[in-house]
Each structure stands twice: as structure tokens, then as C-alpha cells.
Structure 1
Amino acid sequence: MHKVTFFPTGNADACFIEFQNARRIMFDFADQKDRTDKDDKRCDLESELRKRLGSNKKVDVLAISHLDADHFQRVSEVFWLEHAAKYQSDDRIKIDTLWVPVAAIIEEGITDEGRVLRSEARYRLEQGDGIRVFGRATLLDAWLRDRGINPANRRSLITDAGQLAPEFSLAVDGVEFFVHSPFASRDKDGNLVDRNGSALFMQAKFEIEGASTRLILSADCPYEPLEAIIAATKKHGNEERLEWDINNIPHHCSYLSLSDEKGDDETEPGEEIDWLYSTQGASRSFLVSTSKPIPTGGDDTQPPHRQAANYYRRIAREHGGEFRITMEHPSAGSPKPMEFEIDRYGARLLKPVMAPVVAAVSSRPRAGTR
């Protein structure tokens, strides 16, 4: 079976996927816990990851959806980075392949840890090894030529939207990653577009014994780029690539990933975005908000937004499924990692192990498949 884990890291993303053949991918890594604050309920992400890796301190892929700190915090402290000796020691976790969007290579003005991560991505691309860049290959041509590199010699390391990430396959790993975004990173004037709109947006399709289970990884995608993704998907007849059994909803349950209007009690998305959630979700599916607890009232300027949560809750009810919040699982007072097992019956959410007993399941296995 495969296993997908979302971690309670506040308004931040961290998803660890373990495949049935023991390969592993960390999709975003934001370790935000304040270790000096005994009341901080966010998990110690480094410890949680090391516990799952065991003695083999390596991930096959570290995917960074975009260069916002709530998607890569403490990467430079935890992982072995190739570009500088100061980030190399025996206790660090090694990365076979780093996944980044084109913007993580060409974006300027980045500071602090984001700059370190950009340096790592650039170094690996220059070396031609251990990197997968997602986006339009031609956007990197000038950058490569400035460094004396023939762009044709790096084409195999760049994957555009509408393609499969070559690091995994159904035949070998029982999983494939279909790339929806980024499909562009600059506007008509050559300016870098909004970072959230240039982030990685993927569908992971798992197969076991002929049964398929689909996971959507949405990063911080706003509603306008999401509408463009849906339009491009429909144009190419790839609607199945937006089907889902688990949907990591965008931007920590922000209403701006549904609409430009928050709404009074429930955010009302446009027709196409509503299609994604109402039509493409499977029976007994899961909507996951990687966020703080949902506020019950007041002016929630920052996500999560109560109105967006009410929309997702309604969608979950319509599918006979569940809407889950990482910082409320299993309770807001004591959040734990949210672990799904995927087998021939589909995805099921495990109960957190609160004592040294064998984990049980909280949801009945989903029969059948799409």
C-alpha cells in the first residue's frame, strides 16, 4: 500500500508520501514550530520526518511548490544541499532529486532561506543532475546561455504542464504525477507573474491491483490560475487528471482560491471551480486544509476563512466524505499528523496513535474506483 501524511504545521504545507516500493517524496517542508514555546501545538516536522525515514536518511524527491517560506522553512537546516559545504553534514537528509518551478530559478530579489534554496536549485541545474524544473523550457534559455550552457543540454531536466514527471511511473512505483502548473511564469511584458500562480499544481495517481486513487496537490493556487488550469485541462480532454479522492485544497483554506468575493456565510466560487470540487470529487472523498483551526466568527483577514471552509464542508457532505483541517486533527487541543493509507479499496484515514497500540481506521474503505 501507499501512505500519504499531512502534518500540523499551522498555515504551512508539508506532505510526505511513501510508496509501496519504499520510495519517498516530501512535497513542501515548512517546519514552523517555535521550540521555545511550550504552548505551540505545531508539530516538530524535522522529528516527524526523521522518524519516518529511519536509518535511511534520504528522500527520492524533495518538491518545493514555490519560494514562499510557508513551503520551505528550515530546509537549509535539515537537508543536505549540494552547492555549499556549510549545508553538508552526516546527520542531514539527502535529496536525490529536487523539484522546483521555473520561477525558483529565474526569480530575483529573493532573500534569506529562499535565496539559499534558489542557489541549490541553480547549482543542480548548472551541474545537470539531481533537479527537475517544471514550466516552459524556453523561459530558462537566456539564463542558461548567460552561464555558458546550451539550453538543449538541459531540456531533459525540464517538464512542462500537461506532462508526467519522469521520476515516477505506474509500472515501477504504482504512482504517476501529472503536472498542471506552472504552464507560464512571465506575462506578455516579460515580468514574473504572481509566485502563487506559478507554483507546482499536480495530480498524483496511485494504482494498486487495478484500482486508482487520486491526490490533488494545489499549493497556494489563487482562483484565476486555477480557472486557467481547468480551462487548459478541458481543452486537451484531460478531465480525468482533475479527478480526486484526496484534495489538498489551496492556500490554507483562503477564499481567494475560490473567488474574489468572500461571501457572508459561504464563499461562492465560479462555475468552473465549483465543477472541480462538485463534479470531480469521488464518493467518500477527503478535502484537506493545511491550516490553523477554522475561525468561528469575526474579521478573519488572513486564511483560513470561515466562508471558504463552509463551502468545502458542504462539498464534503455532498460526496459523503470529510473536510479535515491539519491543526484540528484529531482535535485543536492536540493535533497529530493526518495519515492516509491507500490500497485497492482506496484511501482511508487512520486514527492517530495516542498510545502504544495498533492504529485503527476512522473511515470505512471506499469500495471500487473511478
Structure 2
Amino acid sequence: MSQTLTFYPLGNAETCLLELGNGAKLLFDYAAMYDGSTTDTRYDIKKELSTIKEFDVVMFSHAHDDHTHGASEFFYLDHAKAYQSESRAKIKELWVSAAFLLDTDLENQSDAKIIRAEARHRLKNKYGIKVFAEPDSLEKWLTDHEIDYDDVSDLIIHAGQVINLPDSLNEEMQVFVHAPFSDDSEDIQDKNDPSLVLQVRLFNNERETNLLITGDTPYQVLDKIVDISQANSNESFLAWDIYDIPHHCSYTGLNEKGEKAVRIITPTDNVQWLLEQATTNAHMVASCLKITEETSPPHMCAKRAYEKYTSPDVKFLATMEHIPFSGGKPTPIKFVIDSFGVTLKQDRMQEVYFKKSAPRAGKQ
């Protein structure tokens, strides 16, 4: 048995597909950024995923366009006939945060607004959804829509909880929820703050492989996750073989950027501890543009920090830097996960091995 995990080169946008050995498919965010022009080097994710007729899970980490763009054109949505045709991909279970479901500031983000409508429809009808976090405003929303809390309580997921998955997923994986927190899901100023943060643990015989999915989570939330995990002896749920670097390799996933952080940023103590939870030969993946001193994000000072504050055997990869030796457009970063661990496929690539900064002493 094995699984595959694929990150797509979409510029500063994210889509990640997890395929289980039994054929189940889980999609973490969807952002169809390719504009169809010959000069656009971003991947045509809509075309790539068009052969998939149904996803077991589609998760939207938060309501920004770079994690939802094009979703209203791709998915079969139950709440309105305008989004229903045989060519669209169906969603068995939709995962969103309570902040996403309750967001009233989506007028300029049409895809997120339509996904919000689908999430509300499913919650009202008590099927096919998981809502993460339980702020007081969610209870008020349920009351306003004459929904009995007890009828939907099993659809509401809290931080610090292992998700009750269907048998089709449960045999190969476990999902632990780190965020969002209920008390951080009221009066949201930045849609990044209540991003979903999950540890996905995959099983292959006696071997466990851990993925940390982080959305665009800022360092303040990561700090809190570490504090709470340590206080509750849940450190094992922060181990990682693959780390989904937050916010397109922005410094915001590490610390504030002070005047001295022009070349490299120093992560907070808790984020440093989190980076140290990497297993041997782990991988970090940034869903972002090619990283230069001028891009913002991604930030070169953040890339240098990720390389410095992880062990020498941890590999840093950026989606738009994953280019074949022969040249051309970036191609997806694909991992095969089995009883031997994590294998990066398509290894005849230019990407990180030629584009990373000079290795530190002892780094291969």
C-alpha cells in the first residue's frame, strides 16, 4: 500500500492532492490560477484534476482567493443548479472553518462566497460537511437559522481533536486538528488567522508518515499551537515528514520582520521548536513563486531561515522552482509515501538542488 501527495506550481497560490492506496482522494485548497496564455508558467490545475469525478474530502484552509480561485467553476455544488453538471467534480465532504462559513466580507471574492453558500447549505441540511471551531457567533448563526445545535454537533470539529473519519479513509490515515481555535475565530481582522492547521498521519504497515498542512497560518497561531500541544503532551502530533510551509514562504510564518531581518529572519522559539520536529530526510514545500530578493512573498529571508533552522538533511522545495533539466514550465512536486518512507518523484529536476543557497557545513 502507498499514498501520493502532490503540490502544484500555481504561483503564490496553493493546491495539494492526497491520493490514498484505496483510491480515495483528498484535496487541500483549490486555486486555478493559470490564465491560458503561452507565457503563463503556472500549472493548469483545472485540466489536471478534470479526470477526477469525486473527491472524498475537499478542504479550504481559509477564504482568500489564492486558495479558492476557480472553485465555483470546477466543483459540483448542491446549493444551486447553476453549479451542477456532469463535467463538475463532486465533493463527498467539505471542510471549512467556522470563520469561513460566517464570513460577511466576501463581496470581492466570488469563489469564496459561493463555497460559503455551499457550506451553509450543507450545514443547514446536516450532511457532507465539517466545520472547524465553535465561536459564539456560530451558535448564534445556528439559532438564527432555526438549527438545533444537537443536530449538527457532530459536524463541528474542535482544535485538539482527532477527526472521526469514514472507514474508506480511516484505514490509511488519521487527522489531528491543531487550529483554528474557537476563541480566535471571532471578529477576524485577517482571513489568514483562522486557517486550518492539520497533522495528517499516513499508515503503511508499521510505518507512520506525518504531513503538516498549514494554510496561511501566521507565527502567532503556530506559537499557540506549540504551547497548547506541549501543555497537553500532544507533541507527537507536531512531528512532520512533509511541512507545508505557511503563506507562500512569507516571513509571517516565522516571526515579525525587524530591521535586522533583511538577510535572514529569526523564528520565534516555538516556531524553531516546531521546525526541529522534522524526521530524518524530511521535506519542506513552499507553494510560491521562484524566490528572489525582490519577491514579497515569498521572502528570501524566510527561505534562509527554513534552511538554517532545520537539520542538514531536510530538503527545501518551492513549487515554481521545480523545473525539469530540459527546461520549460514548472511541474508538480510529487511524493510517494509507503513503508519505506517518503520518496520525491521526478528527481531529474533543476529546482532546489541548483537554486538553493550554498549548503551549510555538513549538508549534502
Give the structure-2-normalised TM-score: 0.90
| Residue of structure 2 in register with 1:239 after alignment | 235
| Residue of structure 1 in register with 2:144 after alignment | 146
- Within 2, Cα distance between the matches of 1:5 and 1:34? 21
1:341-356 mapped onto 2 (5 Å cutoff): 341-351=336-346
Q: In 1, are the aligned partners of 2:322 and 2:333 still within 8 Å (CA)?
A: yes
| Residue of structure 2 in register with 1:327 after alignment | 320
Deviations 1:112-162 (A, max 9, x none): 222111111101100101111011265421101101111111101011001
2:291 match: secondary structure: coil
Equivalent of residue 131 in structure 1, options 129, 132, 138: 129
Whether 1:100 aligns to 2:96 is yes
Q: In 2, are the aligned partners of 1:170 and 1:176 still within 8 Å (CA)?
A: no
- Within 1, Cα distance between the matches of 2:96 and 2:160? 16
How far the C-alpha of 1:285 sits from its partner, in A, is 0.5
The change in CA–CA distance for 1:42 and 1:185 in structure 2 (over 3 A counts) is farther
**Higher alpha-carbon deviation: 132-141 or 175-184:** 132-141
Equivalent of residue 289 in structure 2, options 288, 292, 300: 292
1:197 match: secondary structure: coil
Whether 1:218 aligns to 2:219 is no
- Within 2, Cα distance between the matches of 1:67 and 1:172? 27
Deviations 1:307-329 (A, max 9, x none): 0011112345x241210000011
Q: In 1, are the aligned partners of 2:135 and 2:183 still within 8 Å (CA)?
A: no
The change in CA–CA distance for 1:186 and 1:311 in structure 2 (over 3 A counts) is closer
Equivalent of residue 162 in structure 2, options 161, 164, 167: 164
| Residue of structure 2 in register with 1:283 after alignment | 280
Deviations 1:324-366 (A, max 9, x none): 0000113584200110000011111001799xxxxxxxxxxxx
Deviations 1:170-212 (A, max 9, x none): 984311111000112557xx52353211110001001111101
Q: In 2, are the aligned partners of 1:83 and 1:123 still within 8 Å (CA)?
A: yes
Q: In 1, are the aligned partners of 2:285 and 2:318 still within 8 Å (CA)?
A: yes
Paired letter, 2:289: K
| Residue of structure 2 in register with 1:252 after alignment | 248
Q: Structure 1: 5+ residue runs without aligned partners?
A: 355-370
How many residues align? The count is: 342
Q: In 1, are the aligned partners of 2:42 and 2:329 still within 8 Å (CA)?
A: no
Q: Percent identity?
A: 34
- Within 1, Cα distance between the matches of 2:166 and 2:189? 29
The change in CA–CA distance for 1:309 and 1:171 in structure 2 (over 3 A counts) is closer
- Within 2, Cα distance between the matches of 1:353 and 1:169? 37
The change in CA–CA distance for 1:186 and 1:223 in structure 2 (over 3 A counts) is closer
How far the C-alpha of 1:46 sits from its partner, in A, is 1.0
Whether 1:228 aligns to 2:224 is yes
| Residue of structure 1 in register with 2:44 after alignment | 44
Q: Structure 2: 5+ residue runs without aligned partners?
A: 350-364
- Within 2, Cα distance between the matches of 1:160 and 1:151? 15
Whether 1:267 aligns to 2:265 is yes
1:215 match: secondary structure: strand
| Residue of structure 2 in register with 1:178 after alignment | 176
- Within 2, Cα distance between the matches of 1:340 and 1:69? 26
Q: In 2, are the aligned partners of 1:338 and 1:352 still within 8 Å (CA)?
A: no
**Higher alpha-carbon deviation: 207-216 or 177-186:** 177-186
- Within 1, Cα distance between the matches of 2:247 and 2:166? 26
- Within 2, Cα distance between the matches of 1:78 and 1:224? 34
- Within 1, Cα distance between the matches of 2:307 and 2:188? 35
| Residue of structure 2 in register with 1:21 after alignment | 22
Q: In 2, are the aligned partners of 1:185 and 1:198 still within 8 Å (CA)?
A: no
Whether 1:312 aligns to 2:312 is no
Q: In 2, are the aligned partners of 1:185 and 1:192 still within 8 Å (CA)?
A: no
The change in CA–CA distance for 1:234 and 1:193 in structure 2 (over 3 A counts) is farther
Whether 1:81 aligns to 2:66 is no
| Residue of structure 2 in register with 1:339 after alignment | 334
Paired letter, 1:13: E
Paired letter, 1:323: F
